[in-house]
Amino acid sequence: MKQQQSTPPPLPQSQPPSLSQAGGAAAAEGSVVANAISSLNGNNNNNNSIDATTKTRPPLYPKPKTPSFDKDRDYIGFATLPEQVHRKSVKRGFEFTLMVVGESGLGKSTLINSLFLGDLYKNRQMPNVEERIEKTTRVEKKTMDIEERGVRLRLTVVDTPGFGDAINCEDSWRVCTQYIDEQFRQYFTDESGLNRRNIQDNRVHCCLYFVPPWGHSLRQMDLDLIRRLHRKVNIVLVIGKADCLNKTEVRKLKERILQDLEDNHIQLYQFPECDSDEDDDFKQQDRELKASIPFAVVGSNTILEVAGKKVRGRQYPWGVVNVEDAEHSDFIKLRTFLISTHMQDLKDTTQDVHYENFRAQCISQISQHALRERGKLKRDSISSTNGFDAAISETDRLLLQKDEEIRRMQDMLTQMQEKLKQTHLMEMKKNDSVIDV
């Protein structure tokens, strides 16, 4: 396997993509995703991931140093532990589940394809008018295995077609919450089982919630869903098709959305605080990411040529919207956040906060149920002591009967053995008398 090669593949000598200079970053695309995934390598502290993109980063698969006892007497060898963890994680591969929620036509599939450079919706069939009348929300799961410089990522995208199409949107949020709970329940069951080594983690690590660019802020249905989901999953808000808005409109919409969230006491995914010893570039990147929430994105699966450069963009009669230009959209910021810098933190928060909450609820429900059952048993035993005694004496009687039967059969067996013995003796005597004659 690639990841076990002894010679590490050469690293690109480029600087990390700066968010402010992200325009025309099509060429850096591969390295962003690569850096993203390699930042996951057994490293729970995403703050270190910035180092992973700098020139000074160690090779991807450094050969573990073999301790030379003769030359270096102070060398114990545990300095290779990070590499051991790294190799093991790379070998195992990574899993990430992303849920995309929002009305149809908001550019969800286009954005997912742009983010992961794939075509997850190749065989997508748009529902016809009759099917749309049913207006039920479904859950559609698509998985793709991506490999980049020896690092394998199994990406699962959970889509919710039909979301928000009905007048009454209760069904829409119920489908989402049920799906998230089911995955937690499955994980809880697997974790409590005997074979815990190969548990597949299908828990939803992040939910990209698409807000339409039209309208003035969050709608009631958005608030309803977010309120029901924000304690179960990491929600990241995204304003879809942001090229419909100018800069001022984007800014105002973002402000109103944030205000709405605050007024409704809704807490979306919280970015971890940046460590004080981080370098200035990373701190700046972190600040820019935080300031961009909710991300106003433009998606496109078309590569256009602008001034001799290939860019991912949307061609309009009046010009080109460059998806990767920070002046045009927050696409690069979203991709940096989701893949390069915070993927592991999203997974950690899922495990440490959301799943822990679910687990605690499950355990408390189970213990409450057990307590109730015990109480019921106690009450039953007190109220029916006489009946209980009667049941015991009946059992005793049956046991005595069986004992008696066994004893009788043993007697019979002994008698038969005795008879056999006597017959045998008589036969022998008879034979003796015959010889005598």
Binding site for ligand GDP (CB under 6 A): 104-110, 241, 243, 298-299
Nearest distance from residue 314's CB to ligand GDP, in Å?
6
| Distance, CA of 75 to CA of 72 (rounded, Å) | 6
Q: Which is nearer to ligand GDP, 90 or 226 (CB)?
A: 226
- How large is the angle between the packed helices 170-192 and 220-229, nearest 10 degrees? 10
Nearest distance from residue 213's CB to ligand GDP, in Å?
9
Q: Which is nearer to ligand GDP, 108 or 354 (CB)?
A: 108
Write b or e for each residue in 64-98: b if 16 or more Cβ atoms lie within 10 A of its Cβ, otherwise e.
Answer: eeeeeeeeeeeeeeeebeebeebbebbeeebbbbb
Q: Which is nearer to ligand GDP, 108 or 205 (CB)?
A: 108
Nearest distance from residue 306's CB to ligand GDP, in Å?
17
Nearest distance from residue 313's CB to ligand GDP, in Å?
10
Q: Which is nearer to ligand GDP, 106 or 233 (CB)?
A: 106
- The residue assigned the tokens 């205000």 is 259
| Distance, CA of 371 to CA of 391 (rounded, Å) | 25
Q: Which is nearer to ligand GDP, 34 or 157 (CB)?
A: 157
Q: Which is nearer to ligand GDP, 110 or 336 (CB)?
A: 110
Nearest distance from residue 315's CB to ligand GDP, in Å?
11
Nearest distance from residue 334's CB to ligand GDP, in Å?
12
Torsion of CA 54, 55, 59, 60, to 10 degrees: 30
178 within 8 A of 99, measured Cβ to Cβ? no
Q: Which of 205, 356, 282 is nearest to 46 (CA)?
A: 282
- Which tokens is 201 given? 């983690």
Nearest distance from residue 181's CB to ligand GDP, in Å?
24
Q: Which of 11, 115, 49 is nearest to 281 (CA)?
A: 49
Nearest distance from residue 109's CB to ligand GDP, in Å?
3
Q: Which is nearer to ligand GDP, 284 or 301 (CB)?
A: 301
Q: Which is nearer to ligand GDP, 16 or 299 (CB)?
A: 299
Q: What amino acid occupies position 264?
A: N
Q: Which is nearer to ligand GDP, 22 or 52 (CB)?
A: 22
Q: Which is nearer to ligand GDP, 90 or 157 (CB)?
A: 157
Nearest distance from residue 164's CB to ligand GDP, in Å?
11
Nearest distance from residue 106's CB to ligand GDP, in Å?
4
- Determine the residue with CB nearest ligand GDP: 107
